[in-house]
Structure 1
Amino acid sequence: MPKLAALFSPERAADVVDADTRRLLEDRFEVVWATAEHTTGPGSAAKPPALDPAAVPQLVAGADVLLTSWGTPHLGKELWSDGNGPKVVAHAAGTVKNLIDPVILDQGVAVFSAGPRIAWSVGEYCLASMLTLARRLPRFDDAIRAGGWKQTEYRGHELAGAKVGIIGASSTARALITLLKPFGCDLVVYDPYLTTERAEQLGVRLADLRETSASTFLTIHVPNVPETKGMISRELIEALPDGAVVINSSRGPAIDQQALLEHALDGRIYAALDVYDPEPPAFDAKTLQTPNLLLTPHIAGDTAEGHLALAGYVLKDALQWLDNGTRGPSFVDAAAWSIAA
């Protein structure tokens, strides 16, 4: 029976491994679970303890598969230096860029990431934010809490039929595209790597950055790489139509945050921010009180159901790869490493 090492704390295991997946693991593998003695400390309810890097060699010894998640330390290439390292790394979390060295992908190690499953949670967040801000719900909520009633100078708008600009055709963008289908929106995408054929399959039209940005709704879905830093510039923000709704659930540095805040504070546009530059943000009282902003603490991909599904999501693909070499949706392609999140 092949051996699998689960390289995360018991608390994280309870967060990302559901009961069915745990049974499947025990049926298919000799499983080595990390215990409290392998972690760096007690942690907290909000942040489970991380795995102690010193415990990794002991847990990994003889393992064919590594199951990882948040709190797993960086896995150095020395784990594969003798040519007999694990054949699979299945990451029950998002990006693997801080987890492994890309060189191991060239050594035949199959790596899987639950990023596409998290993408669905992010897509729901983006849709919820669009609808919330389009209907001006924070403003009306504030009015009720202050003892008011109708706000006759404000009227919400519908998402149906609107132009939605999507920056980056990542997995989160594709999840949102699926969710937007019933609304009959004009979906416009800027992504230099997206082909015309693939755009037609997605049911979107390609445009340049300027046209895509000049949308009633603008949503950002790009990785944190040098090419995306500041790509949504002050100039593009100034060109947004009045009343536009901007959603950033990807990476804070992708947008000129100061320019965005200025236009939200003067009431011209609305924005939902789940990511910031830097994190956590330190906003003044005026910024925190404006109803034109919906501010959340980097939780777009964080749902109870989504987290519990993560280990099962990557394990399914890892088992198919071990059984017949099939590459499922969570397979990490070495060719796409440079543009991955």
Structure 2
Amino acid sequence: MPKLAVVMTPDRVADVCGPDARQLLDDRFEVSWAGADLSPAAVEKLVVGCDVVLTSWGTPQLEKAWWSGGAGPKVVAHAAGSVKKLIDPAILEQGVAVFSAGPRIAWSVGEYCLASMLTLVRRLSRFDQAVRQGGWKQSTFRGGELAGQSVGILGASSTARALITLLKPFGCDVLVYDPYLSDERAKQLGVRIASLEEALRCRFVSIHVPDVPETRGLVTRKLIEQLPDQAIVVNSSRGPAIDQEALLEQCLDGRLFAALDVYDPEPPEFGPEVLAASNLLLTPHIAGDTTEGHLALAGYVLADVVKWLDDGIRGPSFVDPAVWSIAA
């Protein structure tokens, strides 16, 4: 049996390892479990000499020195999102296969984005506020609909693809800005390729770009000012992708609506005017954080690890070294 080291605390195991994952671990691997101590020395003792390492949030960075002389594991399975802070890219050059549960988390993020769009377009926060203040139906405003509307998506990442799937029943005209999106792939997704400016002319805009130098400040003050009146902006990717100050100004003026799950910096420090604005939906970086989603993470990557070990199949959680530089 392949040797597998679970390099996460017992609390994290309970968070990301559901019954299916535990059964797969029992059936297919000789497992070593970490305790509460995740010091470099304790982790090195677990990792060196094993075939597979299973990691998650809280796992310290894996040292490339542990792979010297071929002693490191051949597979890293990350039951969480980005692996960029977990491993040095030099480890990939050792022929190590890396798997990430990012695509599973993407579905949770997609649901968040859809829920945010519907909440804001129906003006649910304003109606909720009115009822709490003793009011009833309002004659001064009315909610709208998502169906048939134009949706601009920035970045064709896994979270964007999840949202695109969820939008299909609504019959939206989906425009995607992504310099790396091919015509063939766009056709498969059922979307139209657009420039950044074209995507930002849509009634709904959802941001799904990684945090790389090219995307920081991508949505400038000028572009925000050119958004159509009553546009709805959702940012579940990274705070620096958009001029947050300019966006908030436009929302406080009542021209735009926004759902923000990420900020620059985090956590944000907002004044009472922002916190009271009913056209702002503010959440604490939880778009990908669901009970069902977390419990599925270890099983998601382990299923692909087994296929890789048995038949060399690259499943959806496989991290392609060729796209490391633009990955989230």
Task: Please give the range of the TM-score, normalised by the shorter of the 2 chains.
Answer: over 0.9
Residue deviations 1:176-201 (CA, integer Å, cap 9, x gap): 00000000000000000000111011
What SS does the aligned partner of 2:69 have?
A: coil
**8 Å contact from structure 1 (residues 243, 268) kept in 2:** yes
Match of 2:249 among 241, 248, 262: 262
Q: Hey, what does 1:253 align to over in structure 2?
A: 240
Alignment TM-score, normalising by the size of structure 1: 0.95
4+ runs deviating over 6 angstroms: none
Residue deviations 1:221-266 (CA, integer Å, cap 9, x gap): 0000000001011111101111110000000000000000000011
**1:234 has 2:186 as partner:** no
Residue deviations 1:45-84 (CA, integer Å, cap 9, x gap): xxxxxx3233111111321000000000000111101113
The 2-side partners of 1:270 and 1:95 are apart by 29
What SS does the aligned partner of 1:81 have?
A: helix
What SS does the aligned partner of 1:165 have?
A: strand
**8 Å contact from structure 1 (residues 94, 115) kept in 2:** yes
Structure 1 segments unaligned to the other structure (5+ residues): 39-50
Q: Hey, what does 1:76 align to over in structure 2?
A: 63
**8 Å contact from structure 2 (residues 52, 75) kept in 1:** yes
Q: Hey, what does 2:199 align to over in structure 1?
A: 212
Match of 1:89 among 72, 76, 100: 76
Identity percentage of aligned residues = 73
Q: Hey, what does 2:161 align to over in structure 1?
A: 174
In the TM superposition, 1:1-341 aligns within 5 A as 1-36=1-36, 38=37, 51-341=38-328
The 2-side partners of 1:306 and 1:88 are apart by 23
1:218 Cα offset (Å): 0.2
What SS does the aligned partner of 2:289 have?
A: coil
Residue deviations 1:274-316 (CA, integer Å, cap 9, x gap): 0000000000011000001000000000000000000000001
1:116 Cα offset (Å): 0.2
The 1-side partners of 2:221 and 2:20 are apart by 49
The 2-side partners of 1:85 and 1:337 are apart by 20
The aligned length equals 328
Alignment TM-score, normalising by the size of structure 2: 0.99
**8 Å contact from structure 1 (residues 221, 248) kept in 2:** yes
The 2-side partners of 1:30 and 1:333 are apart by 27
